[in-house]
Structure 1
Amino acid sequence: MWNAMRGRMSALRRGMRNDNGMTTSEYAMGTIAACAFAAVLYKIVTSGTVSGALEAVIGKALDAQF
């Protein structure tokens, strides 16, 4: 009984340690997510409303009296 239980636990531990390729796929998914976020952010920043607001803020900052 104990030998069978030890064998199962040993197999379970070996299975938990076997994560070949996990870091590569995690980096790939992170890179894809970052690129998608950058594309959405670029579209938002270059839209007319946000672009006009940014230009107004920058214009006010450049025209400020010191």
Structure 2
Amino acid sequence: MHKAVRTRTDALRRAVRRDGGMVTSEYAMGIVAAVAFALVLYKVVTSGAITAELQDVVRRALDAGV
């Protein structure tokens, strides 16, 4: 194999190996962000005012069918 081709091939292999863990870390950061967002959303939805409003909406929807 020509030396220049071998050098490029070796450099490409090193670059691929070096970036190998990036996909996993990106998924991990995405999961952490999604969990944090879910926790904030859960806290908002389970707060007193929001719970009362949601119950009122459900009650009105069920009463409308009568």
What's the TM-score once normalised by structure 2's chain length? Answer: 0.72
Percent identical across equivalent pairs?
52
Provide the C-alpha distance between the structure 2 equivalents of 1:49 and 1:42, rounded to a whole number of angstroms. 13
Task: Specify the alignment match of 1:53 in structure 2.
Answer: 53
Point out 4+ residue stretches in structure 1 off by more than 6 angstroms: none
Q: How does 1:30-41 map to 2 (within 5 A)?
A: 30-41=30-41
Shift of 1:65: 3.6
Q: How does 1:1-66 map to 2 (within 5 A)?
A: 10=8, 14=12, 17=16, 18-65=18-65
Which residue type is aligned with residue 40 of structure 1?
Answer: V
Shift of 1:45: 0.2
Aligned length in residues = 58
Structure 1 residue runs of 5 or longer lacking an equivalent are 1-5
Provide the C-alpha distance between the structure 2 equivalents of 1:34 and 1:46, rounded to a whole number of angstroms. 18
Structure 2 residue runs of 5 or longer lacking an equivalent are none
What's the TM-score once normalised by structure 1's chain length? Answer: 0.72
Aligned-residue Cα RMSD (Å) equals 2.2
Provide the C-alpha distance between the structure 2 equivalents of 1:16 and 1:25, rounded to a whole number of angstroms. 17
Provide the C-alpha distance between the structure 2 equivalents of 1:55 and 1:30, rounded to a whole number of angstroms. 32
Provide the C-alpha distance between the structure 2 equivalents of 1:58 and 1:16, rounded to a whole number of angstroms. 56
Paired residue secondary structure (1:39) = helix
